[in-house]
């Protein structure tokens, strides 16, 4: 077939003519920054976030000879989604634990060994935390127990009062 001859400092090199059509080589993705923003525009770079920090901005890069490198991301094992060029911005995230993967892609292909993985979490607000809910259930249970106990104690006391009055009447 056809060949391409290239002159280099090492001499003349020969390539098959279809060398450029074999697809882009997928390269490693590098994390440049991880930032979380709240409604007031305050930035947090921690991976354990308050519920107020529910917008995430991730800057990343990947060395590529392509003029239009493509990237895909996967959040919590869901389907891969195209993100285009950096940065990746995730908005309106709910409280919980997150696992994010970002990979360089080409025509739906991605090399996961060269992807980056970022684990982060957004805390539940204090009024939605399980500790508070369990405490309220406990307090409610104790209050219900005391109400029932008080109801039956009063009923028993009235019954004893009636019995005493009946005995007094019988004695007369």
122-133 pLDDT per residue, tens: 988 888 778 888
Answer for the pair 58, 88: CB distance below 8 angstroms, yes or no. yes
Average pLDDT over the chain, rounded to an integer? 84
Q: What pLDDT shows up at residue 145?
A: 95
Cβ atoms of 24 and 106 within 8 Å: the answer is: yes
Stated as kind and residue range, the H or E segment containing 131 is helix 130-171
Residue 19 pLDDT grade (very low, low, confident, very high; cuts 50, 70, 90): low
Pairing of β 96-106 and β 70-75:
antiparallel
In order of 8, 9, 23, 24, 75, the CA distances from 4 in angstroms are 13, 16, 18, 19, 43
* Selected residue with higher pLDDT from 17 and 34: 34
What is the pTM assigned to this prediction? 0.62
Give the per-residue pLDDT at 110: 84
């Amino acid at each position: 077939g056809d060949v391409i001859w290239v002159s280099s400092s090492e001499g003349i090199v020969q390539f098959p003519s279809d060398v450029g059509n074999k697809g882009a080589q997928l390269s490693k993705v590098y994390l440049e920054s991880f930032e979380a923003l709240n409604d007031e525009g305050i930035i947090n770079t921690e991976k354990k976030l308050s519920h107020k920090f529910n917008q995430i901005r991730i800057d990343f890069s990947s060395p590529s000879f392509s003029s239009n490198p493509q990237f895909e991301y996967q959040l919590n094992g869901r389907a891969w989604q195209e993100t285009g060029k950096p940065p990746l911005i995730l908005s309106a995230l709910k409280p919980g634990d997150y696992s994010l993967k970002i990979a360089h892609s080409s025509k739906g292909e991605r090399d996961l060994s060269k992807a980056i993985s970022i684990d982060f979490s957004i805390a539940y607000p204090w009024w939605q935390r399980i500790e508070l809910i369990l405490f309220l259930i406990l307090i409610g249970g104790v209050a219900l127990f005391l109400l029932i106990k008080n109801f039956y104690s009063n009923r028993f006391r009235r019954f004893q009062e009636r019995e005493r009055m009946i005995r007094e009447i019988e004695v007369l």
